[in-house]
Chain A
Amino acid sequence: MDVAEVLLPGVGVRYEFVTEAGDRLRIVARRDGSVDVLGGGGDPDAAATLFTLTAQEADTVAELLGAPRIAERLADLTREIPGLEAGQVTVGDRSPYAGRTLGDTRARTRTGASIVAIVRGRDVVAAPAPNQPLYAGDVLVVIGTSDGVAAVADLVRG
């Protein structure tokens, strides 16, 4: 899929692409973090705002679409190996490891499960090193046995 990126000086960035159904979708990411989602009518030169998201709402949508999809794709992968499961665990506000490093959790030693990625907002840290810091709100993508994944969840959820 070809996503065109257009700078809107002073406003932000506009992304646009044509969906498989033939609709033109435009997203204006403003400087302040808010996002306009626009749809084209008949005029290829114009697009009307369908809805506007605040920065927080946009983050929520990104999370909805982002993290589960990564976990889903991993789930497809792990289906190949019996007994292996992928799960995602959110680092809670009161997690004892929020603000500490991944190594501090000693998750691999204690649960046998591996943390293979950290989803932080729009960024994904793939194969994080032990010195990678964890923050409240991070989503950890965990691979292991179902017990192992649950144990990691107990560990970092807080």
Chain B
Amino acid sequence: MHTSTALLIELGVVLAALSVLAGLARRVGLSPVPLYLLAGLCLGPGGIAPVPAAGGFVQTGAALGVVLLLLALGLEFTAAEFADSARRHLPSAGVDLALNAAPGLVLGWVAGAGLTATLALAGITWISSSGIAARLLGDLDRLGNRETPAVLSVLVLEDVAVAVYLPLLAVLAAGGSWWHAAAAAATAAGALILAFTASYRFGGGLARVVHSTDPEQLLLRVFGLTLLVAGLAELVNASAAVGAFLFGLALTGQVADRTRRVIAPLRDLFATVFFFGIGLSVDPSDIVPVLPVALAVAAVGTATKMATGWFAAARDGAGTWARLRAGSALIARGEFSLVIASLPASVTHPRLGPFTAAFVIVAAIAGPVIARLVDVVEARARVR
């Protein structure tokens, strides 16, 4: 077998550099995601040190990264948690959608971006990063707080809503008509309900097929089946990400726990490649013109998320500071916004990629910083 030395060396250097960046980010309490994006920008075409040989791998790896991210998300889900969240926080999720899709919709309309790109922008500003938020809640010791169930519920409901939203967008991006897209979304909603009931009622069935005490076997079965489902979903234009999410959803109980553990290192690697790959695919010179807009939208998006958190936490009877904390935990946008932007740019909008990269970098840095700031300001206020 011929192995390209350039590929190995470039990839090695890239991953080593990313690990250093991630270490730095963690040390100062930030998410490494924006740094992965920045690294991609620096090393892509037009960047300071292009890595052409690694490009092919990164492209493939990024696609796997999306699938694995969504599979892991689906595995996290339980029907009981979803039902509980929906029962208590459906209005919060509605407010979340209305407030946070608005900046994207307005931007798309003002920029005359066309229907598909406008819808994509709405999603990009709407969906918080579950990954960054969950990490933040743990890091800032907020799990015992009153507002935390509200925050987590909003995130869960967002994630489920994405499973309906993504196929809608994917079909439109693939050039499908409105009724075609609506049908895809309806199909996804149906599949979602099916996956839920299947996991709830006969969760054992799929678990038995996948189950193996050998970690290697388990990994191969789950990963193989996930790729198969994701590929079939993509084939019918329902987005590979949604297929992977539904597959993760259908796995529950002990098998889900074990699968989570087996899949985690793979997910971490390929998700990193995905974030890096998004940066790589964007020409840094395209970032500059969209930067002011991205900053403005991030500012508005921060305000709307704060309002969402305020509303959701208030429903649980939380006080002023808890409401502010809830909002600040939701600010960061990340993986979902990037998944949306990774849909074919040709049919959406050429500026969508650069805008999203810039927006996510700003929002993913601002989120943790503002969340910490709220804690600091609160501590000061209480001392007085």
Please say whether chains A and B are actual partners in one complex.
Answer: yes
A-to-B contact residues, CB < 8 Å = 6-11, 14, 26, 28, 31, 36, 38, 40, 42-49
**B273 near A: Cβ within 8 Å?**
no
Q: Given A14-B149, A44-B319, is A7 in contact with B144 using a C-beta cutoff of 8 Å?
A: no
Q: Which chain B positions have C-beta within 8 A of A49?
A: 141, 143-144
Least CB distance from A32 to B in Å reads 8
Bound together, the chains give a CA A13 to CA B132 distance in angstroms of 20
Among A11, A38, A45, the most chain B Cβ lie within 10 Å of the Cβ of A45
Would you call A9 and B153 a contact (CB within 8 A)?
Answer: yes
The answer on a CB contact under 8 Å between B144 and A26 is yes
Within the complex, the shortest CB–CB distance from B17 to chain A, in Å, comes to: 30
Give 24 pairs: A residue, B residue, CB < 8 Å, sorted on A.
Answer: A6-B149, A7-B80, A7-B149, A8-B149, A9-B81, A10-B77, A10-B130, A10-B156, A11-B134, A11-B143, A28-B144, A31-B257, A36-B143, A38-B143, A40-B144, A44-B319, A45-B147, A45-B318, A45-B319, A45-B322, A46-B144, A46-B321, A49-B141, A49-B143
Chain B interface, >50% SS class:
helix
Residues of A within 8 A of B257 (CB): 31
Total contacting residues, chain B, CB less than 8 A:
29
| Mask of B127-165 contacts with A, CB within 8 angstroms, 1/0 | 000100010010001111111110011011000000000
Confirm or deny: B84 has a beta carbon within 8 angstroms of a beta carbon on chain A. Answer: yes
Specify which chain B residues have a CB less than 8 angstroms from the CB of A43 in the assembled complex.
319, 321, 382
Query: With A44-B319, A45-B322, A46-B322 in contact, do A10 and B145 touch (Cβ < 8 Å)?
Result: no
Question: Which residues of A lie under 8 Å from residue B318 when comparing CB positions?
Answer: 45
Pairwise interchain contact B146-A46, C-beta atoms closer than 8 A: yes
Which of chain B's residues have a CB closer than 8 A to the CB of A7?
80-81, 84-85, 149
Q: In whole angstroms, what is the CA distance A48 to B142 when docked?
A: 7
Within residues 146 to 197 of chain B, which ones have a CB less than 8 A from any CB in chain A? 146-149, 152-153, 155-156
- Kindly list the 5 A-B residue pairs having the minimum CB-CB distance in the complex, ordered from nearest: A47-B144, A38-B144, A45-B322, A45-B146, A9-B81
CA–CA, A7 and B82, complex, Å: 10
Determine the residue in chain A with the shortest Cβ distance to B147.
A45
Chain A residues within 8 Å of B146, by CB = 44-46
